[in-house]
Amino acid sequence: RCASAYVKRRTGTGTISFTQDGGGSWTDITSQINSSTWSRVQITATLANPSVGFKISTSGDAIDVDCVQNEAGSVATSPIVTTTATITRNADSLTFQTASNIDFAVGTIYAELQCSGSAVSRFAVEVGSATFQLSTPDANTDFRAYDTTLTAIKTGLSDITTGRRKRAVSWGPAGLSVTGDGLSPVTVGFDGSYGSGATISIGRNINGYIGPVAIYNYQMTDAELQAITT
């Protein structure tokens, strides 16, 4: 479960703590909040019956709290404003036409994303049957590019469930390459077309964040791929 909330300090400077197991354990969020802006805090734990609360350690201190959520997964999603009812989040659907937006023969895709480990097939971008995604099953430190014939897999990357990560794939005469975190790419052959069809789909089966996503009409060099993902 992931508990999240927007918190702002009203008065005082003492310790503020956050729980989702009814006070069985507390997380110190003092350094994450301030008195001038709303700061979103989140905590994760494996438990069946969450009970969310805040603890003010110094008498006289006060905080403001808004948009408290508790949801399945390890990443807080964007807030849904409600009252007392439980809300089911509909899956986002973000698609674009391939026409004028991508060259199947040569190009580069860049994406930043963070997602939970709950889904096996998590796709940053799909171009017809071609994919740019986490390796399966549940390889949170691998990323792969598949041109419907050949697959390039970069292993040993930062865990995508613990922070926003930068990933990139390029295709063209130099082959099919994939990388992230500023590391050297893995390159395999290229079948001549990175995808097909009329639709580009962004972020399927990702419970978390994705964006920005950029599609370039040229094949970046290895050095450029490393620079853009650093």
Distance CA 212, CA 210 (A): 7
**Residue 126 and residue 197 in contact, taking contact as beta carbons nearer than 8 Å:** no
Distance CA 56, CA 106 (A): 56
Residue range 3-15: mean pLDDT, rounded: 97
The amino acid present at 75, given as its one-letter code, is V
In this predicted model, which residue has the larger pLDDT, 108 or 92?
Answer: 108
Q: Which residues pair with 186 in a beta bridge?
A: 178
User: Which residue, 142, 168, 149, is CA-closest to 229?
Assistant: 168
Q: What pLDDT, on a 0 to 100 scale, did the predictor assign at position 119?
A: 64
Q: What pLDDT, on a 0 to 100 scale, did the predictor assign at position 131?
A: 94
> Tens digit of pLDDT for each residue in 162-214?
889 999 999 999 999 999 999 999 999 999 999 999 999 998 888 778 889 99
Q: What pLDDT, on a 0 to 100 scale, did the predictor assign at position 205?
A: 81
Q: What pLDDT, on a 0 to 100 scale, did the predictor assign at position 73?
A: 77
> Tens digit of pLDDT for each residue in 214-228?
999 999 999 999 999
**Residue 157 and residue 165 in contact, taking contact as beta carbons nearer than 8 Å:** yes
**Residue 164 and residue 150 in contact, taking contact as beta carbons nearer than 8 Å:** no
Q: What is the pTM of this model?
A: 0.72
